[in-house]
Structure 1
Amino acid sequence: MRALKEWSAVVRALEDGVQCVILRKGGIHDSGPQGPFGGAEFALFPTHEHQEASSIRPEFRHYLEGGAPHGESFNTVGSLATVVAEAEVAPGPALDALSPMHIWSGEYVAKRAAWMPERPLRAALLRVRRISGERVSTGPEHAGCRSWIDVECSAAGGEAAMGDADAAAALEAFEGAVSR
């Protein structure tokens, strides 16, 4: 199964339904555009690479503590996601309007938007499903600054991180934000 590498704190916020938007440009080792999510469900692969407390708004820094078990040869995947909507966003009103839908600090979002200006910043609204934590083996192919990896993971069962009414409200808010 395809898996998107994302900070552990962000994955935990997504699993709690506190965050529903991710902002992507891709990793240094990624090639090509980073927006072709398609409609397929993918795993969220929690990572600690580049994760810093200063990049998370203070009221959400508790997500930096704990997290799923991980080690040099394994990680734990506890959620799957599907992209509900996505759009290119530029710094300014649209990007600012997405702030209530994620846990990153304003400074971090500005830094991410400015990094590699030739790559567009993509916002994706996710519908996340929590699954029982599944331990997956990791190796050198999972390391480094790349967004997408392949993992052996079951997609069975699970519970939505956000109810239908909240998901509908999130979609409406996302569409309103990116149309600014």
Structure 2
Amino acid sequence: MQPVNRIALKEWAAVCEALAQGRQSILLRKGGLEEGSAGFQLQHEEFWLFPTRFHQDPAQLKPDAEPLLAAATVPPDGIVALRLYAVAEDVHQLTDPGQLAQLEPLHVLAPETVRERFHYRADGLNVITVRVFKQTTSFEISEAPHFAGCKSWVDLRNKLPTSGLQPVLSDPDYEVQCDAIRAALQ
């Protein structure tokens, strides 16, 4: 793990909370408008998770995941709270829409949300297996204009230390999730 990192990946606050609770260990990415026709690219193997509520809607979550919206911490206006750190362990370019159903137990998004992402622009979806770490207190940083927009990656401009981070899941529990992810992607 890098000792410091200034890169963050924007993700829905509810998905960040699911990652924090160990309910999922994958990210399903297509790419923001600012990423153009190439779509999402895994530019960084390690990153802070930048929780956002932009475009987030309870209807886009599975019904049993809707409480994650309330559980996700809402920082004061003008502040971004970062407490989760992810290490990308594997990236799979999903091209078969038939595999979406096999992934369904492994994430909190509503099936229709995932189908819409898959079919947005060109068919396909990036499935990223992540090992998630958290700290007990969040780094609180001021929002900045360059954080805005439909883009996945954010340069925080300040390096945040990763010392003291603890894995969300134990090694055996994480391996169980990884086995399920690999099985779903076969």
TM-score (norm 2): 0.88
**Which consecutive unaligned segments of at least 5 residues does structure 2 have?**
1-5
Q: CA–CA distance in 2 between the matches of 1:91 and 1:63?
A: 29
Identity across matched positions, percent: 28
Residue identity opposite 1:36 in structure 2: L
Q: Kindly indicate whether residue 173 of structure 2 is the aligned counterpart of residue 166 of structure 1.
A: yes
Q: CA–CA distance in 2 between the matches of 1:141 and 1:70?
A: 19
Superposed displacement of residue 85, structure 1: 1.3
Q: Kindly indicate whether residue 133 of structure 2 is the aligned counterpart of residue 129 of structure 1.
A: yes
Q: CA–CA distance in 1 between the matches of 2:98 and 2:73?
A: 35
Q: 1:34 aligns with which of 32, 36, 40?
A: 40
Extract structure 1 runs of 4+ deviating beyond 3 A. none
Q: 1:10 aligns with which of 11, 15, 19?
A: 15
C-alpha RMSD of matched pairs (Å): 1.6
Q: 2:163 aligns with which of 146, 149, 156?
A: 156
Indicate the structure with greater strand content: 2
Trace 1:46-125 onto structure 2 (pairs within 5 A).
46-117=51-122, 120-125=124-129
Q: Secondary structure at the match of 2:133?
A: strand
Q: CA–CA distance in 2 between the matches of 1:143 and 1:66?
A: 24
Q: CA–CA distance in 2 between the matches of 1:93 and 1:4?
A: 27
User: CA contact under 8 A between 1:29 and 1:145: conserved in structure 2?
Assistant: yes
Q: Secondary structure at the match of 2:179?
A: helix
Q: Kindly indicate whether residue 179 of structure 2 is the aligned counterpart of residue 175 of structure 1.
A: no
Q: CA–CA distance in 1 between the matches of 2:53 and 2:26?
A: 19
User: CA contact under 8 A between 2:30 and 2:40: conserved in structure 1?
Assistant: yes
TM-score (norm 1): 0.91
Superposed displacement of residue 23, structure 1: 0.6
